[in-house]
C-alpha cells in the first residue's frame, strides 16, 4: 500500500527549486475552480491565494490510487475480544470499502495541500522578520488540519513536521547554537528502548546498518588474534551481540579471537550519555560471558569535540576497527565537528577497517534551508511509507519520529551555512582513506534481510565499497567501508 504523499513529495522534488516560491505564492490562477485559498485572512496579514491547481495535481492524479496506509490493528478480531482499548482506538477506522475513489481523491488533494503548506511554512520560518506572522498563520493552519493520530500517513507525518517547525519558530528569537538540543517531550528511556526494538521489527532501516557493518568487520578481522573496535556511538550496544555470536561460532578454544570495544561518549551529550555508555558495557560484558566470547570493554570520554587517540588504551598486535554508525534516530543535534575530528584522528591508529553508516539526507552545502527541508520531507515520507503497519506503529511514531523530525529540522536550520561538505564518503575518500570492497556475502545478507520486510525495499551498490538501502526510489541509509591508506591488507 503506497501513500500518495510519498509521490507528492518526490514529484515536488523534481521541480526546480527556484520555482517554488512562485508556484506557491502566485496569484495567477488559470483554473481557480477547485479548492481555493486555504489561508485565512487575519487582520492586516497578507492573504494568500494558493493555487492548488498547479502542475502537481495532474501528476498526482495519474499516480497510484491507493489511499494512505493506516495504523489500525488487525481488522478481524475474534469476538471474545471485548476488551476496551483494542477495537475502539481512533486508528481502527478501516474505510477500505465503499467510497474508495472519492476518499482517495480527497486524500491526495489534502496531501498536496499539506505539502504546500509545509513548504510555505518552512520558507517563511527562515525569512526575515516580516514573515514571522505568516509563519505563525501557516503553522496554525497546519496544526488545524493534522494530528499525530490521523488516519493517513501524510497527515501524521505533516503533524510531526508541523510540531518541529513550530518549535523552530518559537526559538527564532533565541540565538541558535550548537549544543544538546533536547526535544521537550523527552520520552522515558524504557519507552525509547521499546520503540527502537519495535522499529526494528517494522523496517530493516536500523539493522541494515548494523548487520552490514558487522559483516564487513568480520571479514576484515578474520585472521586476527585480537580485535579492537572503537565505536563512535554505541547507543545500547545492540550492534555487537551478533558480532560476538559470529566470532564464537567460528572460533573456539585456543583459536578464539579476543574482542575489545572502546565506546566513546561526548561531553556535549551530558552525563546521561556517560551512564548509557557504561550500562551498555555492562550488558555487553554479561552477554559475552554468557556465550563464552573473550571480551573487554572500555569507555573513552571525549571532553570537547576533539578526539584524542592517545586517550585510548591500545594493545600491541591488535587490529583496530573504527565503527561510525550515524543513522539511528537522533533526538539531539550532533555537530559534525566531533565526527570529523574522530575520523581524522582515528586515521593515526591505522585502522584495518572503518565502517560508516549514515542517512541519505543531503546536507549538501550551499543549497539553502528550503531545499534541505524538501529533502528531509522526502526522506521521512519514504520512511513513513516503508514502515510495516501494525498496532505498535502509533507508539513508534510518537516516541521516535516526533523527536527525530524535530532534531533534523534543528540541524538543517542551524547548519545551513556551516556544513559545507557534501557527504561523509566524499570526505573520507579525500582525507586519506581508501575504499574496501563489499563482499558477495554482505550483499547476500542485505538482500536476505530485506526479504523479511515489505516489498519495495532495495539494495544498491555504492561504488565498490558500499551498499545503500532504499525504499522505492529513495535512498535511505548507506553503509560504506574504508581503510586508512597506509594500512596493510
Partner 1 sequence: MFHAKKPSSMNGSYENRAMCVQGDSGLVLTTDPKPRLRWTVELHERFVDAVAQLGGPDKATPKTIMRVMGVKGLTLYHLKSHLQKFRLGKQPHKEYGDHSTKESSRASAMDIQRNVASSSGMMSRNMNEMQMEVQRRLHEQLEVQRHLQLRIEAQGKYMQSILERACQTLAGENMAAASGGGFKGNLGSSSLSAAMGPHPLSFPPFQDLNIYGNTTDQVLDHHNFHNQNIENHYTANNAADTNIYLGKKRPNPSFGNDIRKELLMWSNQDHEPIDDEHRIQIQMATHVSTDLDSLSEIYDRKPGLSGDEGNDCGKLLERSSPRRSPLSPMMNPNAGLVQGRNSPFE
Residues that bind partner 1 (CB under 8 A): 73-74, 76-78, 80-81, 83-87, 89-92, 148-149, 188-191, 193-194, 197-198, 200-202, 207, 210-211, 214, 236-238, 241-242, 244-246, 249, 279-280, 283-284, 286-287, 291, 388, 390-392, 394-395, 398, 440-441, 444-445, 447-449, 451-453, 455
Alpha-carbon distance 12 to 22, whole Å? 14
Q: Of 255, 299, 249, 251, which Cα lies nearest the Cα of 277?
A: 299
Q: Classify 125 as helix, strand or coil.
A: helix
Tracing cell 575489545 back to the chain, one arrives at 260
Complete DSSP assignment for 343-386: HHHHGGG--SEEEEEEE-----TTSHHHHHHHHHHHHHHHHHHH
Query: Minimum Å distance from CB 243 to partner 1?
Result: 8
Say if residues 465 and 435 touch (Cβ distance below 8 Å): yes
Q: Nearer Cβ to partner 1, position 32 or 246?
A: 246
Cell readout for 80 is 471474545
Q: Nearer Cβ to partner 1, position 68 or 394?
A: 394
Neighbours of 43 (CB within 10 A): 4
Cell readout for 40 is 485565512
Query: Minimum Å distance from CB 117 to partner 1?
Result: 24
Say if residues 473 and 10 touch (Cβ distance below 8 Å): yes
Query: Minimum Å distance from CB 171 to partner 1?
Result: 23
Say if residues 131 and 39 touch (Cβ distance below 8 Å): no
Torsions phi, psi for 128 (to 5 deg)? -70, 175
Query: Minimum Å distance from CB 431 to partner 1?
Result: 32
Q: Classify 474 as helix, strand or coil.
A: strand
Tracing cell 523552530 back to the chain, one arrives at 168
Query: Minimum Å distance from CB 242 to partner 1?
Result: 4
Q: Nearer Cβ to partner 1, position 378 or 398?
A: 398
Q: Nearer Cβ to partner 1, position 55 or 66?
A: 66
Query: Minimum Å distance from CB 107 to partner 1?
Result: 22
Task: List the beta bridge partners of residue 297.
Answer: 261
Q: Nearer Cβ to partner 1, position 119 or 467?
A: 467
Q: Nearer Cβ to partner 1, position 57 or 156?
A: 156
Say if residues 351 and 258 touch (Cβ distance below 8 Å): no
Tracing cell 587517540 back to the chain, one arrives at 309
Query: Minimum Å distance from CB 74 to partner 1?
Result: 6
Q: Nearer Cβ to partner 1, position 442 or 484?
A: 442
Q: Of 262, 401, 274, 271, which Cα lies nearest the Cα of 322?
A: 262
Secondary element (H or E) of residue 165: helix 153-170
Say if residues 339 and 304 touch (Cβ distance below 8 Å): no
Query: Minimum Å distance from CB 438 to partner 1?
Result: 13
Alpha-carbon distance 51 to 359, whole Å? 34
Query: Minimum Å distance from CB 220 to partner 1?
Result: 16
Query: Minimum Å distance from CB 86 to partner 1?
Result: 6
Q: Nearer Cβ to partner 1, position 200 or 367?
A: 200
Q: Nearer Cβ to partner 1, position 73 or 338?
A: 73
Q: Nearer Cβ to partner 1, position 297 or 342?
A: 297
Say if residues 432 and 485 touch (Cβ distance below 8 Å): yes
Tracing cell 548487520 back to the chain, one arrives at 211
Query: Minimum Å distance from CB 82 to partner 1?
Result: 8
Alpha-carbon distance 297 to 308, whole Å? 18
Q: Nearer Cβ to partner 1, position 211 or 349?
A: 211
Query: Minimum Å distance from CB 72 to partner 1?
Result: 9
Q: Nearer Cβ to partner 1, position 1 or 106?
A: 1
Distance between the two ends of the chain, CA-based, in angstroms? 46
Instruction: Tell me how far the alpha carbon of residue 100 is from its chain's centroid.
Output: 32
Amino acid at each position: 500500500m503506497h501513500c500518495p504523499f510519498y509521490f507528492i513529495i518526490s514529484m515536488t522534488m523534481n521541480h526546480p527549486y527556484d520555482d517554488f516560491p512562485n508556484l506557491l505564492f502566485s496569484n495567477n490562477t488559470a483554473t481557480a475552480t477547485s479548492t481555493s485559498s486555504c489561508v485565512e485572512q487575519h487582520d492586516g496579514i497578507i492573504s494568500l491565494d494558493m493555487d492548488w491547481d498547479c502542475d502537481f495535481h495532474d501528476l498526482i492524479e495519474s499516480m497510484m490510487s491507493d489511499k494512505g496506509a493506516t495504523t489500525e490493528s488487525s481488522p478481524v478480531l475474534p469476538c471474545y475480544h471485548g476488551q476496551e482499548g483494542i477495537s475502539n482506538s481512533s486508528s481502527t477506522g478501516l474505510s477500505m470499502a465503499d467510497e474508495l475513489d472519492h476518499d482517495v481523491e480527497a486524500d491526495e488533494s489534502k496531501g498536496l495541500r499539506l505539502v504546500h503548506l509545509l513548504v510555505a511554512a518552512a520558507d517563511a520560518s527562515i525569512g526575515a522578520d516580516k514573515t514571522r506572522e505568516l509563519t505563525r498563520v501557516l503553522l496554525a493552519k497546519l496544526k488545524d488540519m493534522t494530528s499525530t493520530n490521523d488516519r493517513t500517513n501524510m497527515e501524521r507525518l505533516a503533524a510531526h513536521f508541523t510540531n518541529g517547525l513550530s518549535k523552530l519558530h518559537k526559538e527564532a528569537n533565541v540565538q541558535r547554537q550548537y549544543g544538546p538540543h533536547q526535544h521537550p517531550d523527552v520520552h522515558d528511556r524504557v519507552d525509547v528502548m521499546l520503540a527502537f526494538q519495535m522499529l526494528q521489527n517494522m523496517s530493516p532501516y536500523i539493522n541494515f546498518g548494523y548487520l552490514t557493518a558487522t559483516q564487513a568487520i568480520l571479514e576484515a578481522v578474520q585472521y586476527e588474534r585480537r580485535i579492537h573496535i572503537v565505536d563512535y556511538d554505541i547507543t545500547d550496544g545492540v550492534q555487537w551481540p551478533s558480532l560476538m555470536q559470529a566470532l564464537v561460532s567460528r572460533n573456539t578454544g585456543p583459536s578464539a579471537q579476543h574482542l575489545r570495544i572502546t565506546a566513546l561518549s561526548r561531553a556535549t551529550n551530558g552525563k546521561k550519555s556517560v551512564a548509557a555508555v557504561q550500562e551498555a558495557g555492562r550488558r555487553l560484558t554479561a552477554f559475552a560471558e554468557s556465550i563464552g566470547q573473550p571480551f573487554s570493554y572500555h569507555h573513552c570520554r571525549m571532553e570537547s569535540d576533539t578526539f584524542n587517540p592517545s586517550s585510548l588504551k591500545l594493545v600491541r598486535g591488535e587490529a583496530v576497527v573504527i565503527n561510525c554508525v550515524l543513522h539511528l534516530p537522533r533526538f539531539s543535534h550532533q555537530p559534525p565537528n566531533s565526527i570529523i575530528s574522530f575520523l581524522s584522528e582515528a586515521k593515526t591508529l591505522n585502522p584495518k577497517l572503518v565502517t560508516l553508516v549514515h542517512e541519505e539526507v543531503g546536507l549538501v552545502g550551499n543549497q539553502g534551508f528550503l531545499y534541505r527541508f524538501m529533502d528531509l520531507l522526502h526522506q521521512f515520507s519514504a520512511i513513513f511509507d516503508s514502515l510495516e503497519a501494525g498496532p505498535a506503529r502509533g507508539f513508534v511514531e510518537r516516541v521516535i519520529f516526533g523527536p527525530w523530525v524535530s532534531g533534523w529540522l534543528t540541524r538543517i536550520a542551524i547548519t545551513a551555512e556551516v556544513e559545507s561538505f557534501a557527504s561523509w564518503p566524499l570526505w573520507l575518500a579525500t582525507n586519506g582513506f581508501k575504499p574496501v570492497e563489499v563482499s558477495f556475502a554482505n550483499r547476500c545478507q542485505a538482500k536476505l534481510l530485506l526479504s523479511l520486510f515489505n516489498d519495495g525495499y532495495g539494495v544498491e551498490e555504492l561504488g565498490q565499497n558500499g551498499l545503500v538501502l532504499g525504499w522505492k526510489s529513495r535512498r535511505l541509509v548507506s553503509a560504506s567501508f574504508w581503510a586508512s591508506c597506509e594500512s596493510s591488507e
